[in-house]
Structure 1
Amino acid sequence: MKQINIILGLVLTRVRLRIDSLLCNQPKSWLCFCVVFAAPFDTEVSESVVPGLFLQGVLSKDEMRELEEEFMAFVRREVHVEGRDFCDMSGDYTKPIESFSIINIMLPSKYNPRLKGNIYEKRAASITEQLLGSDMALDYDQLLAKPPNKPDAEFKWHQDLAYWPVTKDTRTASFWLAIDDSRLENGCVQFVPGSHLESNLRHHGPLHGDRDKSHTLAATLSEDDKPKPAEIDRGDVTVHHERILHGSGGNFSSTSWRRAWVVAFRSQETIKKEREIGFTHSHNDNLKVLNEVGKESEVIS
């Protein structure tokens, strides 16, 4: 199994997670993944001890082709997406669509119900249940695309929790599926090892002044931060914790896209509390709600 430096400095363990044979077209229903844990796998994992995973070859070539077709239908604007849920994460909301550098589509399964329960979502849900328990559920999905020749397609450093309501239950599994081979040249994700262990979230500020101009938040790296690139292949997946600091650079390739499909899982109770305050992960959510998320002083109980 190839090596990947994601969130190093912890105990590297190999484990086997069961992929239900009904969900997997592969001849084997058991796959071995490289996993990074803060504790041995046979200890309690319902707490925040799973900072990151690397899962190799989660989807077959045929499965990837089908997902890619659905993905590009959104990029070509063949699927209607409401308001700010189709935006550029590198620019403000006034940026013309033809100039987008990081095409961002929030909640694709909302706008194309055919995507609900797709093979990727089912497989990710199976893995999440094994890692974090049977009460986990899909919180949101997202598509991200950096076209070729977009050196300004930088996704600013951030922790996912800065975008979300802070809750007592910290269990999170955010899956990042590579639609293309993901390399430094075309803007692969980079993680800051150990940042999920910090006692407080980093300070995040709106990239363009306020959340009404742009959804994007930005944190700053410290001199001690040593980002590690996650250079993974098409069909591979990373899974990360809500507090891990990560970001990505521009796409300097003249030929390669850098596309990713995100599905994120939190506990059913956490999702219920999010929806009760009007938070759905849509960029069209009430601005007052968006301005109140990511505050550790206001934990939703």
Structure 2
Amino acid sequence: MSDRIDGDEYRVTDEEKAYFAEHGYVHLRGLLTDDEVHELEGTYDRFLRREIDVPGKDYCDMAGDYGRDPEDFSIINVMLPRRYYPAWQGNIYERRAASAARQLCGDGMAIDYDQILAKQPYKEDAVFAWHQDMAYWPDTPDTRTATFWLAIDDSTIANGCMRFVPATNREEALRPHTPQYGDRGESHALGTNLQDGDEPLPVPISRGDVTVHNERVMHGSGGNSTAGFRRAYVIAFRAEETVAIERQLGFTHSHNDSGDVLDQVGVEGQTR
């Protein structure tokens, strides 16, 4: 086991903390061991095979409209897997990511949501448009965010690894965002455009590694041209007060909750 791991704790270096603050994201190597990823993988694949029930639009395609047949999904998206499989709550990934989130963002961070994102093989349209996560969310006084993106498979340029536009987190305003497929009632995905001077950087990572990004850095990913899946497991940590405000507003990150504002926030918030 890496000398950076001590039980539930993961040591983030001073250089990594500074990089995260400056550029809006950071690559942390070996957050989980191969055995730890393997333990999560069995449940992960049960979600993909639909052996764990996820109702409504919390199981959807992030690369198309809600009307696609699941067999044709390009990016299988499962929102809130820890809700639909409670045994996953408190798993080693959650615990170790919480340690790193505290070091990157300070005390008082809590899990806001989790998510599964699996790009199916040979899906060139399995693309995430450039976006900033804050465009999806309501305004809150404390916007501190550490979104962990765990590679279940080696994540490469060929299968659609994460890409970032470094330092866009330090721009005064968010870029304008628009729905990518019809309107928000037809598809969840928002996107924005690159501008002159933007310098996108692909960030390939290995199985068990994570990228961590904040709420304002522009990021996206390309399609999957390989014969294998590109599986990712996302956990987003935000300030405890922010999570409480979101829930008071009815913002749960689920499409299945009465009064949820998931489909209303984003387009309205693009001028923030």
- Give 1:289 shift: 5.2
Separation in structure 2 between the aligned mates of residue 127 and residue 177 of structure 1, nearest angstrom: 13
Q: Does 1:258 align with 2:243?
A: no
1:50–1:139 distance in 2 versus 1, CA, 3 Å: farther
Separation in structure 1 between the aligned mates of residue 57 and residue 236 of structure 2, nearest angstrom: 20
Structure 1 residues 239-258: Cα deviation after superposition (integer angstroms, max 9, x where no partner)? 1110010101100012x211
Alignment match of 1:295 (pick from 256, 269, 272)? 269
1:221–1:127 distance in 2 versus 1, CA, 3 Å: same
Alignment match of 1:275 (pick from 247, 267, 272)? 247
Separation in structure 1 between the aligned mates of residue 141 and residue 270 of structure 2, nearest angstrom: 10
Task: State the partner residue of 1:154.
Answer: 127
Query: SS of the residue aligned with 1:283?
Result: coil
Alignment match of 1:96 (pick from 69, 82, 103)? 69
Unaligned runs of 5+ in 2: none
Aligned length: 268
Matching residue's letter, 1:233: S
Q: Report sequence identity in percent.
A: 51
Q: Is the 8 A contact 1:195 1:243 kept in 2?
A: yes
Separation in structure 2 between the aligned mates of residue 273 and residue 89 of structure 1, nearest angstrom: 26
Q: Is the 8 A contact 1:212 1:287 kept in 2?
A: no
Alignment match of 2:222 (pick from 249, 259, 267)? 249
Q: Does 1:237 align with 2:210?
A: yes
1:297–1:193 distance in 2 versus 1, CA, 3 Å: closer
Q: Does 1:284 align with 2:265?
A: no
1:296–1:263 distance in 2 versus 1, CA, 3 Å: same
The normalised TM-score by structure 1 is 0.83
Counting only pairs closer than 5 Å after superposition, residues 1-301 of structure 1 correspond to structure 2 as: 19=5, 21-23=6-8, 30=11, 35=16, 37=18, 51-254=24-227, 256-285=228-257, 286=259, 288=261, 290-293=263-266, 295=269
Separation in structure 2 between the aligned mates of residue 243 and residue 283 of structure 1, nearest angstrom: 23
1:30–1:226 distance in 2 versus 1, CA, 3 Å: closer
Structure 1 residues 182-240: Cα deviation after superposition (integer angstroms, max 9, x where no partner)? 11100111001121111111111111221111111111111321110011100001111
Matching residue's letter, 1:113: P
- Give 1:166 shift: 1.9
Unaligned runs of 5+ in 1: 1-16, 40-47
Matching residue's letter, 1:75: L
Separation in structure 2 between the aligned mates of residue 31 and residue 171 of structure 1, nearest angstrom: 17
1:31–1:204 distance in 2 versus 1, CA, 3 Å: closer
1:109–1:287 distance in 2 versus 1, CA, 3 Å: closer
Which structure is larger by alpha-carbon Rg, 1 or 2? 1
Separation in structure 1 between the aligned mates of residue 239 and residue 105 of structure 2, nearest angstrom: 9
Q: Is the 8 A contact 2:33 2:208 kept in 1?
A: yes
C-alpha RMSD over aligned residues? 2.2
Separation in structure 2 between the aligned mates of residue 222 and residue 297 of structure 1, nearest angstrom: 16
